[in-house]
Amino acid sequence: MKTAVLLLTFVSNIVFCQSGHENLVNEIIAKYKQHRSISYDIDYMIKFFDSDEPFYVNTSVQSERVESDTIFKGRFLYSRKDSLLDVSKYYDSKHLFVLDHNKKTITRFNTSQGEIFPITGNADGNVINTYFLDIERFNKKIHSKEYIVQFQDSLSFVKVNIKFPDDEEYYGKEENIYLNKAKKTIDKVTFIAKYKDQVQRNHWMLSNIIFDGLKENELAYRVDEYFKKYNLEDYKPLTEKDYELLTNGSVIPRVKGKLYPNYDKEIDLKSDKLLIIDFWYTSCMPCIKAIPQLNQLQKTYINEIEIIGINSIEYTEKDKEKLTAFLKRTPIDYNILLIDKIPEEFNIRAFPTLYIIGKDGKVKYSKIGSSENLYDELETVLKNLLK
Mean pLDDT of the chain: 91
Q: How confident is the model at residue 10, as a pLDDT?
A: 43
Peptide bond into 261 cis (omega under 30): yes
3-state secondary structure the chain: CCCCCCCCCCCCCCECCCHHHHHHHHHHHHHHHHCCEEEEEEEEEEECCCCCCCEEEEEEEEEEECCCCCCCCEEEEEEEECCCCEEEEEECCCEEEEEECCCCEEEEEEHHHCCCHHHHCCCHHHHHCCCCCCHHHHHHHHHCCCCEEEEEECCCEEEEEEECCCCCCCEEEEEEEEEECCCCEEEEEEEEEEECCEEEEEEEEEEEEEECCCCCCHHHHHHHHHHHHCEEEECCCCCCHHHCCCCCCCECCCCEEEECCCCCCEEECCCCCEEEEEECCCCCHHHHHHHHHHHHHHHHCCCCEEEEEEECCCCCHHHHHHHHHHHHHCCCCCEEEECCCCCHHHCCCCCCEEEEECCCCEEEEEEECCCCCHHHHHHHHHHHHHC
Per residue in 228-265, pLDDT (tens digit) is 999 999 999 999 999 999 999 999 999 999 999 988 88
Residue pair 337/308 in contact by the 8 Å Cβ criterion? yes
* Band of residue 278 on the pLDDT scale cut at 50, 70, 90: very high
Give me Rg for the CA atoms of the chain: 25
316 has pLDDT over 50: yes
Model confidence over 344-353: pLDDT tens digits?
A: 999 999 999 9
Residue pLDDT, tens place only, 21-51: 889 999 999 999 999 999 999 999 999 887 7
Higher pLDDT, residue 14 or 99? 99
pLDDT in the model for residue 233: 97
Tens-digit pLDDT profile for residues 138-190: 999 999 999 999 999 999 999 999 999 999 889 999 999 999 999 999 999 99
Confidence of residue 18 (pLDDT cuts 50, 70, 90): low
Show Cβ contacts of residue 311 under 8 Å, excluding neighbours closer than 6 positions.
Answer: 260, 279, 280, 281, 282, 323, 336, 337, 338, 339
Residue 58 has φ and ψ, to the nearest 5°, of -105, 130
pLDDT interval class at 52 (50, 70, 90):
confident
Position 4 scores a pLDDT of 44
| Residue 201 Cα to chain centre, angstroms | 13
Q: Which domains are present in the chain? A: 19-234 (2.50.20.10), 242-382 (3.40.30.10)
Beta bridge partners of 194: 171, 199
248: phi then psi, degrees, rounded to nearest 5 = -55, 135
Instruction: State how far the Cα of 359 lies from the Cα of 39, in Å rounded to an integer.
Output: 62
The lowest-confidence range among 121-125, 179-183, 285-289 is 121-125
* Distance (Å, whole) CA 92 – CA 325: 45
d(CA 263, CA 261): 6
Q: How far from 109 is each of 48, 86, 114, CA to CA, in Å?
A: 28, 19, 9
Adjacent-strand bridge partners of 195: 198
Q: Answer yes or no: are the C-beta atoms of 222 and 97 closer than 8 Å.
A: no
Look at residue 124 in the predicted model and tell me its pLDDT: 79
Does the pLDDT value for residue 92 go beyond 50? yes
pLDDT of 197: 82
Q: Report the distance separating Cα 147 and Cα 137, nearest Å.
A: 13
Q: Which of 71, 70, 88 is nearest to 79 (CA)?
A: 88
pLDDT at 131 over 50: yes
Q: What is the pLDDT of residue 19?
A: 57
Per-residue pLDDT, 121: 78
Give percent above pLDDT 90 in the chain.
82
- pLDDT average, residue stretch 287-298: 97
CA distance 306 to 277: 8
Distance CA 261, CA 322 (A): 12
Task: Decide if 49 contacts 283 (C-beta within 8 A).
Answer: yes
Helices 19-34 and 135-143 pack at an angle, to 10 degrees, of 160
Average pLDDT over residues 304-331: 94
Query: Is the pLDDT confidence value at 193 over 60?
Result: yes
80 and 119 Cβ atoms separated by less than 8 Å? no
More confident residue, 56 or 6: 56
pLDDT bin (cut points 50, 70, 90) of residue 360 is: very high
Q: Which of 194-198, 269-273, 308-312, 365-369 has the lowest mean pLDDT?
A: 194-198
Distance CA 40, CA 30 (A): 19
Mean pLDDT value of segment 344-373: 96
Residue 83, pLDDT above cutoff 50: yes
Residue 308 and residue 275 in contact, taking contact as beta carbons nearer than 8 Å: yes
Confidence of residue 381 (pLDDT cuts 50, 70, 90): very high
